[in-house]
Amino acid sequence: MIKNEIIKLLKGRKNLLAFSYGSDSTALFYILMDLKIEFDLVFINYKTRKNSDIEELEAKNLAKNFGKKIFIQNAPCFKNNFEKKARDFRYAFFEELCHKEKYENLILAHQLNDLFEWFLMQFSKGAGLAELIGMKESLKCKTFTLVRPLLFVSKDEILSFLKERGLKYFNDESNEDEKYFRNFIRKHFARTFVSKFPKGVKKSFKYLNKDLKNLLGDESEILEFGGIFICKKHESLVSKAVKKMGFVMSEAQRKEALKGDCVISGKVGVVYVKDDLENEKALIFNYELCEKLPKSFKEKCRRAKIPKLIRAYLHNHHLEPEDLNHLILKFFGKKDE
């Protein structure tokens, strides 16, 4: 069920599984156990449902029964835009935890239906190739690798696995609430389509990923450094990175962002730098001002060839220009010396 290259990525490493006790993460828990892959658990309690505390208690019991360490975090109350705020909260906690506890891999239970739902959601809004297939089986982050072992496994396959093994899991009733766009897409389009054409959907995503790599080479990813997103200068990638900042650009703004250094709606800065191979990279960040930059800092920025629009952000967040420059060169093809 899990690809050999993913197994090799996880074997012998320090792994953390994002666990909810839903069908997907429960199936993944037992699959990893079968493969004798070591891992600990992290559980986020949003306290939005009757079963939230019960699921937390059961997750603790499961961890205890199998000798697993578990980290529990309660989320604050999000009054609006719940999906985005909840996602931002959990990923921030995951990143903090991986850094603190030295986890090498963060394992997520996203599966084929999630991948197709994302595709349809982006397709409905108008998106490019990089945005349509945003989920990856493995993705290098700043201090860990994000791994999705079930990304090409359908929901039906997961449910069959759980049923055959007689394994307990919890259903999240909020997944049926159509006020959330993802649930609407799932109930009316994705669930039935993937159930009818699972092989075709898997093949299509494999071809799309291959096409994206051919289009962008090995630079189809978006890196993150101190709240700055870094990617190749490509419309879909820049748009995707800006969206990570919580802002969806119009068609006119997408064109503006590709012309050169700019600020979108006074909120999101976009600047461009060149690597050693003279290829342009986009830096996307929250646009900020600083009353007066120290001369020594401005000189550091000048030497590192850092654009003026982003200098205040670097200074305000205590980020070194040399570190940013080094990251760009390291990950985007520095010439052999």
Residues 39-83 have pLDDT tens digits of 999 999 999 888 999 999 999 999 999 999 999 999 999 888 888
Residue 336 has pLDDT above 50, yes or no: no
How far is Cα 90 from Cα 184, in angstroms, rounded to an integer? 23
Position 80 scores a pLDDT of 84
User: HEC string of 272-316?
Assistant: EEECCCCCEEEEEEECCCCCCCCHHHHHHHHHCCCCHHHHHHHHH
Position 335 scores a pLDDT of 40
Position 295 scores a pLDDT of 95
Query: Which range, of 65-74, 136-145, 151-160, 189-198, averages the lowest pLDDT?
Result: 136-145
Place of tokens 């935890």: 97
Position 303 scores a pLDDT of 94
In the structure, what pLDDT confidence band is assigned to residue 219 with cuts at 50, 70 and 90?
low
Q: Give the CA angle between residues 233, 225, 240 to the nearest 5°.
A: 40
In the structure, what pLDDT confidence band is assigned to residue 141 with cuts at 50, 70 and 90?
confident
Per-residue pLDDT, averaged over 238-246, amounts to: 87
Q: What is the pLDDT of residues 251-286, one digit of tens each?
A: 899 999 999 999 999 999 999 998 766 788 999 999
CB 106 within 8 A of CB 97: no
How far is Cα 196 from Cα 199, in angstroms, rounded to an integer? 9
Query: What is the Cα 249 distance to its own chain's centre?
Result: 19
Q: Would you say the C-alpha torsion 205, 207, 208, 210 has a positive or negative sign?
A: positive
Q: pLDDT: is 29 or 227 the higher one?
A: 29
Q: Dihedrals φ, ψ of 293, to 5°?
A: -80, 135
Query: Which range, of 16-30, 87-101, 219-233, averages the lowest pLDDT?
Result: 219-233
Position 247 scores a pLDDT of 85
Residue 56: its H or E element: helix 52-65
Residue 334 has pLDDT above 60, yes or no: no
Residue 20 carries which side chain, given as an amino acid letter? S
- Enter the pTM of the model: 0.79
- Extract long-range pairs of 34-40: CB within 8 Å, 24+ residues apart: 35/2, 35/7, 35/10, 35/11, 37/7, 37/10, 37/11, 38/13, 38/14, 39/10, 39/15, 39/68, 39/107, 40/15, 40/16, 40/68, 40/69, 40/70, 40/71, 40/103
Per-residue pLDDT, averaged over 296-300, amounts to: 96
Per-residue pLDDT, averaged over 273-300, amounts to: 90
Per-residue pLDDT, averaged over 20-33, amounts to: 98
In the structure, what pLDDT confidence band is assigned to residue 173 with cuts at 50, 70 and 90?
confident
Residues in the chain, overall count: 337
Instruction: Give 132's contacts (C-beta < 8 A, 6+ positions apart).
Output: 119, 122, 123, 208
Other beta carbons less than 10 A from residue 35's beta carbon: 14
